[in-house]
């Protein structure tokens, strides 16, 4: 309709259709790109050929906390078993050197006082090592004042046992109290959408918190990951570009007491400004969402992440409302959390829409006569036909 009115150059629609068909073929034949951030928030990056492996041992505590649970439990068990076995060997050697392992006649005269009573084999020495380190103290075995060396070993084992307990239990506690566990109850919509809001194309997704305890000082950050080439020909395979989040408070802070729709207005400063519905499908990019805040109950800083690839961004759809007011309070229906509905929206990019509106404005300034029965938003209806 706009072509008949003379507001668009002749052949614009035909050229546009040809370009869209080529882009559609490209998007179908494009190989699937690896995600930088998975939908669950883990980083999909493999570190290889690391030469200085010893740097991880300089921070043993963090290294152990970062290990998988099966590896941590293996180290936890091995640390105690090795310490018990080591000191069992020490106690057995003390008993052997003092002659406590020699058989004695039960009907004869009593022998010399042993260093540790009731140690007759390595098994009894191992049991005594466990009793000393975990302070069980069954009472059948004990250190006497006959051997100063035994008293010294007793002190050393107690101190070393306390250190092992502190480190191992600290690692287990840190693993159970990690902030990423809190992120399990923070949910993001499976798909993002691009829909008009206040007359501008807007990128939107939904985020919600399933717990009643709040995330304090929650902030949202958006980044676009894409492959770029500089003016000098340098290829940057992972280029990170920040995206401004729409917020009336002019900050990225949010009050996440109920599910929110986070929006980004696609304007001239947006990386999505020149992308149309079909060109977006052919793009090799990924939009990363980072939600960060402080857990109200523990005070630990947590971070939840997800990402959206072009095939997960729905063009011309919006999220349905899931918040209703019932009996004087607001109710959230999470069964509709990711539901969307189609809306009337052109497939043109934001840049093309701005150019089209510029042509319309110039046409209105020159007092062109409108065509009879024309719709007020002809650029939108024409784009839908494209």
For residue 337, the domain's CATH number is 2.60.40.1400
Domains: count for the chain: 2
pLDDT tier for residue 181 given thresholds of 50, 70 and 90: confident
Q: Token pair of 332, please?
A: 């959230």
pLDDT digits (tens, 9 = 90+) for 268-295: 989 999 999 999 988 889 999 999 999 8
- Domain shared by 203 and 258, yes or no: yes
pLDDT digits (tens, 9 = 90+) for 376-385: 333 333 333 3
Q: Where among 176, 207, 223 does a domain terminate?
A: 176
Q: Where among 119, 148, 176 does a domain terminate?
A: 176
pLDDT of residue 58: 84
CA–CA gap between residue 187 and residue 71 (Å, rounded): 29
- Domain shared by 166 and 131, yes or no: yes
- Domain shared by 149 and 260, yes or no: no
- Domain shared by 165 and 191, yes or no: no
- Domain shared by 226 and 291, yes or no: yes
CA–CA gap between residue 168 and residue 179 (Å, rounded): 19
pLDDT digits (tens, 9 = 90+) for 10-47: 443 444 444 455 444 444 444 456 788 899 888 888 88
CA–CA gap between residue 6 and residue 300 (Å, rounded): 61
- Domain shared by 200 and 292, yes or no: yes
Query: What are the C-alpha distances in Å from 178 to residues 175, 294, 298, 343?
Result: 5, 12, 10, 42
Question: 361 vs 56, which has greater pLDDT?
Answer: 56
- Domain shared by 35 and 78, yes or no: no
Mean pLDDT of 157-175: 92
Please, what is the average pLDDT of the chain? 82
pLDDT digits (tens, 9 = 90+) for 58-113: 888 888 888 888 999 999 999 999 999 999 999 999 999 988 888 776 665 667 88
User: Does 127 have pLDDT greater than 60?
Assistant: yes
- Domain shared by 315 and 373, yes or no: yes
Q: Where among 123, 141, 176 does a domain terminate?
A: 176
- Domain shared by 159 and 202, yes or no: no
Neighbouring residues of 283: CB distance < 8 A, sequence distance ≥ 6 = 226, 275, 310
Pairing outcome for strands 192-197 and 313-315: parallel
User: Does 173 have pLDDT greater than 60?
Assistant: yes
Q: Can you give the CATH number for the domain in which 166 is found?
A: 1.10.287.70
Scanning the structure block, which residue is given the tokens 């002019």?
250
- Domain shared by 192 and 270, yes or no: yes
- Domain shared by 202 and 271, yes or no: yes
Helix 122-133 and helix 69-98, axial crossing angle in degrees, nearest 10: 120
- Domain shared by 321 and 247, yes or no: yes
User: Does 262 have pLDDT greater than 90?
Assistant: yes
Contact of 245 with 222, CB cutoff 8 Å: yes
Query: In 10 A of CB 80, how many CB atoms?
Result: 16
Instruction: Tell me the HSE value of 302 on the side-chain side, using a 13 A CA sphere.
Output: 23
Query: Is this structure's pTM higher than 0.75?
Result: no
Give the range of the structural domain holding residue 81, as residue numbers without chain letter: 53-176
CA–CA gap between residue 112 and residue 104 (Å, rounded): 11
User: Does 309 have pLDDT greater than 90?
Assistant: yes
């Amino acid at each position: 309709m706009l072509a008949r009115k003379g507001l668009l150059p002749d052949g614009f629609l035909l050229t546009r259709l040809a370009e869209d068909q080529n882009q559609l073929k490209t998007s179908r034949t494009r190989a699937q790109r690896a995600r930088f951030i998975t939908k669950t928030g883990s980083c999909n990056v493999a570190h290889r050929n690391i030469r200085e492996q010893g740097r991880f041992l300089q921070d043993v505590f963090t290294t152990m906390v970062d290990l998988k649970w099966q590896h941590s439990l293996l180290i936890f068990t091995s640390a105690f078993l090795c310490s018990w076995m080591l000191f069992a060997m020490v106690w057995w050697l003390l008993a052997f050197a003092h002659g406590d392992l020699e058989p004695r006649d039960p009907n004869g005269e009593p022998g010399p006082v042993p260093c540790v009573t009731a140690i007759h084999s390595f098994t009894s020495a191992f049991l005594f090592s466990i009793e000393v380190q975990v302070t069980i103290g069954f009472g059948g075995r004990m250190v006497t004042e006959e051997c100063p060396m035994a008293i010294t070993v007793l002190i050393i084992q107690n101190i070393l046992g306390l250190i092992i307990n502190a480190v191992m239990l600290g690692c287990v506690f840190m693993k159970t109290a990690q902030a990423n566990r809190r992120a399990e109850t923070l949910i993001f919509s499976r798909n993002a959408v691009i829909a008009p809001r206040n007359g501008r194309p807007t990128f939107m997704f939904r985020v919600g918190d399933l717990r009643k305890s709040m995330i304090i000082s929650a902030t949202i950050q958006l980044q676009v990951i894409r492959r770029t080439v500089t003016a000098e020909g340098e290829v940057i395979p992972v280029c990170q570009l920040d995206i401004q989040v729409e917020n009336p408070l002019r900050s990225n802070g949010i009050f996440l007491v109920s599910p929110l729709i986070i929006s980004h207005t696609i304007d001239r400063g947006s990386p999505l400004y020149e992308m149309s519905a079909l060109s977006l499908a052919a793009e090799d990019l990924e939009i990363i969402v980072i939600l960060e805040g402080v857990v109200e109950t523990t005070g630990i800083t947590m971070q939840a992440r997800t990402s959206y690839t072009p095939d997960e961004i729905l063009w011309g759809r919006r999220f349905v409302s899931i918040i209703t007011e019932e009996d004087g309070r607001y109710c959230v229906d999470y069964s509709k959390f990711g539901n969307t509905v189609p809306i009337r929206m052109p497939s043109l990019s934001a840049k093309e829409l701005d150019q089209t509106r510029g042509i319309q404005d110039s046409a209105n300034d020159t007092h062109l006569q409108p065509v009879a029965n024309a719709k007020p938003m002809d650029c939108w209806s024409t784009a839908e036909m494209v």
